[in-house]
Amino acid sequence: MHLKHLLIDRAARFIRSRLASGRFRSRTPILRVGVTGTALPVLMCLWNRPTRLIPMLEMLDAQTTDAAVEVYLWNNNKADHAEYLSQLESYEPGGRIRSVSIVKTPFNLGSIARFYWARQLVARGVTGPVVVVDDDEDIPADFLEVCLREYRPRTAAAFWAWMVGESYWHRTFAEPGEAVNHVGPGGMVCDIEIFGDESFFRDLPLEYWFLDDLWFTHFAREHGYELRRLPVHLEFVLDETNSYRSFIDKKVEFLQYLRALEAADEPR
């Protein structure tokens, strides 16, 4: 390996190890007192879509739930951080949002970075449901209400929910409430307990770091979690900014890798 790439790889491993232990700093530009209800953490990554921050906050603030919403943002693009802070410092929620916290990293860690927030929240003693959204989703006003209604311990219920066959692209989109063998975390409610296990971060191969949907699905199934379709409908915007196209071949490869691991673990 070239020395430059070796140093980058070592730096990445160090940073990821530190983050998995919950050792990172954040800012809380929005903290509003007087919002009642049990706190519901909502995790979201920010990447290359600065125009979507305020619309997402407005949709979360307008939710019909009785819960107080605490938003935890992870910015993967440090070049946009000043813009995000400026937006947050001028935004004034008037609905369900109680707090918004944000952290940045020196390079793009992918969408799995939002789960570092979950890891830290578990370390703080948070239990119960955690919601994950993406900044390219338009969510209905009752989204969080549905999430809380459908939440069960040791479950993950997601809008992106599939029965996947022999290959990643041999799949069928599930009906609401249907049990599945694959979920996409964007638009999901799950038991936050799963992120208390450091092996969730430690055992993910660096080669597949950006494929958090496949890793989350595998890890959840291996730890006895039920996966099912969340009965909501989400609309998507700014599809041209979505990076999934660059990982199409890797997804196929990673699923084969994970299934080989699962087959090796099966009792003979």
Return the CATH number at 260: 3.90.550.10
What is the chain's mean pLDDT, rounded?
Answer: 90
Does residue 84 belong to any structural domain of this protein?
yes
Q: Give the pLDDT confidence of 93-102 residue by residue, as tens digits.
A: 999 999 999 9
CA atoms within 13 A on the CB side of 105: 26
> 5-9, 204-208, 219-223 — which is least confidently predicted?
5-9
Does residue 243 belong to any structural domain of this protein?
yes
Q: Give the pLDDT confidence of 171-204 residue by residue, as tens digits.
A: 999 999 999 999 999 999 999 999 999 899 989 9
239 φ, ψ (degrees, to nearest 5): -60, -30
- With a CB cutoff of 8 Å and minimum separation 6, the contacts of 80 are 46, 48, 50
**Rounded percentage of the chain residues whose pLDDT exceeds 70:** 90
Query: Is the confidence at residue 47, as pLDDT, over 60?
Result: yes
Residue bearing tokens 């691991």: 261
Query: Is the confidence at residue 247, as pLDDT, over 90?
Result: no
| Better-predicted residue by pLDDT, 59 or 24 | 59
Structure tokens at 28: 């809380």
Does residue 4 belong to any structural domain of this protein?
no
What was the pLDDT predicted at 105?
Answer: 87
Which residue range forms the structural domain that includes residue 31?
A: 14-265
Kindly state the average pLDDT of the residues 11-23: 72
- Check if the beta carbon of residue 29 is closer than 8 Å to that of residue 90: no
| Domain count along the chain | 1
Does residue 176 belong to any structural domain of this protein?
yes
Kindly state the average pLDDT of the residues 63-80: 96
Structure tokens at 236: 């998507």
Does residue 175 belong to any structural domain of this protein?
yes
Does residue 104 belong to any structural domain of this protein?
yes
Query: Is the confidence at residue 58, as pLDDT, over 70?
Result: yes
Does residue 245 belong to any structural domain of this protein?
yes
Query: Is the confidence at residue 7, as pLDDT, over 60?
Result: no
Q: Give the pLDDT confidence of 135-177 residue by residue, as tens digits.
A: 999 999 999 999 999 999 999 999 999 999 988 999 999 999 9
Report how far residue 229's alpha carbon sits from residue 183's, in angstroms, rounded to the nearest whole number. 8
pLDDT band for position 225 (50/70/90)?
Answer: very high
Does residue 256 belong to any structural domain of this protein?
yes
User: Residues 32, 33, 34, 36: what is their CA dihedral angle, to the nearest 10 degrees?
Assistant: 80
